[in-house]
Homo-oligomer: A and B are copies of this chain.
């Protein structure tokens, strides 16, 4: 058994390690300042969304569990990198790369917390529990909002068409009638304004 100070040292080493989330850039642009978003920023944004939006799901959701899930869901990208959601090639071995990453990273923590973080990540990845489905939904909605408010800049760069965005946001629409309406409105308006080719 580790004593408390040894536990603290392990936790601090992990906390310093995950600073790397600030150097992993996503494909989306932030709404100000014209640069790509980092994983750390994305995770924070989702956490606040989890605090605000749980009421809109048609399921019973424990928002705190969803909140914790989104805080840790992208940590594996420290080793595995960010795989763009429309990158078919990169998606092929994503699972394997991310499993290795989870083992190394969460293994830095004291065993009980390693278990907690691994479980949260696996639950998110499985997308079965109400909390994971909610977390997954906002993980899809958030980049849609950023694309919409940056005139679809990253959609243009990657030649993404509306059918792909519709497909990607199906799961967001599944969990909530209100979110479905919102997603449809955003996609329709994006097409109308030329952010997204039909």
Q: Does A38 contact B (CB under 8 A)?
A: yes
Q: How far is the CB of A174 from chain B (nearest CB, A)?
A: 16
Is there contact, CB below 8 Å, between B44 and A33? Answer: no
Is there contact, CB below 8 Å, between A23 and B30? Answer: yes
Is there contact, CB below 8 Å, between A31 and B16? Answer: yes
Among candidates B41, B56, B68, B109, residue contacting A41 with C-beta atoms closer than 8 Å = B41
Is there contact, CB below 8 Å, between B12 and A22? Answer: no
Is there contact, CB below 8 Å, between A47 and B45? Answer: no
Report Cα–Cα, A52/B5, bound state, in Å.
13
Q: How many residues of A contact B (CB 8 A)?
A: 50
Is there contact, CB below 8 Å, between A71 and B56? Answer: no
Stretch at the interface among A124-132, A162-170, A175-183: A175-183
Is there contact, CB below 8 Å, between B45 and A19? Answer: yes
Chain A interface mostly helix, strand, loop or mixed?
helix
When C-beta atoms are compared, the residue in chain B nearest to A149 turns out to be: B16
Q: Does A113 contact B (CB under 8 A)?
A: yes
The residues of B that contact A146 with a CB separation of less than 8 Å are 19
Q: How far is the CB of A98 from chain B (nearest CB, A)?
A: 18
Q: Does A43 contact B (CB under 8 A)?
A: yes
Of A19, A37, A55, A181, which is in contact with the most chain B CB atoms at under 10 Å from its CB? Answer: A19
The residues of B that contact A9 with a CB separation of less than 8 Å are 182
Q: How far is the CB of A164 from chain B (nearest CB, A)?
A: 22
The residues of B that contact A19 with a CB separation of less than 8 Å are 30-32, 45, 146, 149
Is there contact, CB below 8 Å, between B21 and A44? Answer: yes
Q: Does A191 contact B (CB under 8 A)?
A: no
Report Cα–Cα, A5/B108, bound state, in Å.
43
A residues 1-49 near B (Cβ < 8 Å) are 4-5, 7-9, 11-12, 14-16, 18-23, 30-33, 37-38, 40-41, 43-45, 47-49
Q: List 10 other contacts, CB 8 Å, given A16-B145, A19-B32.
A: A7-B55, A9-B182, A19-B31, A19-B149, A20-B32, A21-B44, A22-B41, A23-B30, A38-B38, A51-B68
